[in-house]
Amino acid sequence: MKKLFAVFTLALLLLLAACGGGARPTAYGPKPRLSQAALSAQSAPDVVLFAVSGRCGVPCSSAPDDNYDYLTGRGTADAVAQAFRDLGKSVLVLGYSSHLFNHYSSISNAYEYGFLQLEADFGWVRSNWPGARRVLLAHSHGTNWTHDLLRAHPGWTVDYLIDLDGICALWEDDNEDDFDYFYSHYGNPWPVDLSKSCDIEPIKKHWWGTSKYSAKDVAYPGATYNLEVQSARLLASSVTTQGNTSLVYDYTDNLRLDAGRDRIWTFVADENHSGITYPGSSALQWIVNEIHTIGLP
């Protein structure tokens, strides 16, 4: 069923690509959705915030096809955007779902944008609005996609890489069929195999050995600043919570490829895996405060 859906999705993407204006940044992806809007825009925004939501939940047997963009509708993305507006910057927010392709979600009853669209939009902003600051925000499974964007394009940079409780469990299984179909038709256009994103980066953290880290836990060189939020956890006695404990949480502090933590900040929130995404949460308040304190590079 997923392969049939993938065939339909790719056909739709090609149809959409043939109907609009603007140059395609890749031979395999959709057109950047910004190209038409930008033609009438008087000026580029100061900041473009790309927000990638996570999995549709557990249990959710229809993932990734029913994944949807909830970070914009929930107000998460706007809460982070407001932190930059407080610095006097104009902000454009673009939302995406946790999926390789653009697709229809029966949960949101809407057409959702996926990773290939994120890649196309990010590439367009980078080329056409070079002065605009770029921010990647993601929750849960979405962090795999944002980190993979920098992993797939070593020359691409962001001012802020913001992670809300990154989770890799189930991500590879959810997306295996879509990657198989994509690779069989287009080959692998990236320097690495993005379908393998869990426990793939060998990093020598201590002199006595090397450990493998998931892409979501690595702040790749393209990330100037990395703000990481981990949700409250059930079995960590050292964490003081307000009763919102969770068995689903990010338990690995982010690090650089050299095993350092330069310009990485990690915070353990009071809320559970879902609760950290809501405006007013300790997680979002911490992010806002950090942006106010650190500013833009």
Cα separation of 140 and 85, whole Å?
Answer: 25
Residue reference for tokens 């902000």: 91
Which residues make beta-bridge pairs with 160? 135, 225
Nearest to 190 by CA among 223, 243, 153, 226: 153
Nearest to 232 by CA among 167, 171, 165: 165
Q: Residue 29's pLDDT is what?
A: 83
Which residues make beta-bridge pairs with 226? 161, 264
Q: How many CB atoms lie within 10 A of CB 241?
A: 18
Peptide bond preceding 59 in cis form (omega within 30 of 0): yes
| Angle at CA of residue 126, ends 128 and 195, nearest 5° | 135
pLDDT in tens, 79-112: 999 999 999 999 999 999 999 999 999 999 999 9
Cα separation of 8 and 73, whole Å?
Answer: 26
Orientation of helix 142-152 relative to helix 115-128, angle to 10°: 50
Nearest to 175 by CA among 219, 144, 213: 144
Q: How many CB atoms lie within 10 A of CB 123?
A: 18
Each residue's pLDDT tens digit in the chain (297 positions)?
Answer: 443 334 333 333 333 333 333 333 456 889 998 876 665 565 789 999 999 999 987 678 899 999 999 999 999 999 999 999 999 999 999 999 999 999 999 999 999 999 999 999 999 999 999 999 999 999 999 999 999 999 999 999 999 999 999 999 899 999 999 999 999 999 999 999 999 999 999 998 776 788 999 999 999 999 999 999 999 876 544 444 334 445 578 889 999 999 999 999 999 999 889 899 999 999 999 999 999 999 999
Residue pair 131/42 in contact (Cβ under 8 Å)? The answer is no
Cα separation of 284 and 227, whole Å?
Answer: 11
Residue pair 53/96 in contact (Cβ under 8 Å)? The answer is yes
Cα separation of 54 and 140, whole Å?
Answer: 5
CB-based contacts of 25: which residues, under 8 Å, 6+ apart? Answer: 32, 119, 120, 123, 124, 127
Topology of the domain covering 2-25+47-294: Rossmann fold (3.40.50)
